[in-house]
Amino acid sequence: MLIGELASATGATTRALRYYEEQGLLESERSPAGYRVYRPEAVTRVRNVRDLLASGFTVENVKSFVRYLDSDLPEVFAYAESCAGNYAVGARRVAELQERIESLTRMRDTLVRRMPWLAAEPPA
Q: Residue 2 gets which letter from DSSP?
A: B
pLDDT of 72 reads 86
Question: What are phi and psi for residue 70, nearest 5 degrees?
Answer: -90, 5
For the segment 4-13, the average pLDDT, to the nearest whole number, is: 97
Which pLDDT does position 14 carry in this prediction? 97
What integer pLDDT is reported at residue 76 of this predicted model? 60
Q: What CATH number does residue 61 fall under?
A: 1.10.1660.10
| pLDDT (average), residues 2-7 | 97
Please report the pLDDT score of residue 62 as a whole number: 93
- The model's pTM: 0.75
Q: How many domains does the chain have?
A: 1
Across-strand partners of 37? 2, 29
Residue 123 reports pLDDT greater than 80: no
Q: Has residue 31 been placed in a domain? A: yes
**In this predicted structure, what is the pLDDT of residue 74?**
73
Query: Does any domain span residue 32?
Result: yes
* Domain presence at residue 124: no
Quick: pLDDT tens for 48-104.
999 999 989 999 999 988 988 998 887 766 555 546 566 788 888 889 999 999 999
Q: Find the domain containing 62 and state its range.
A: 3-119
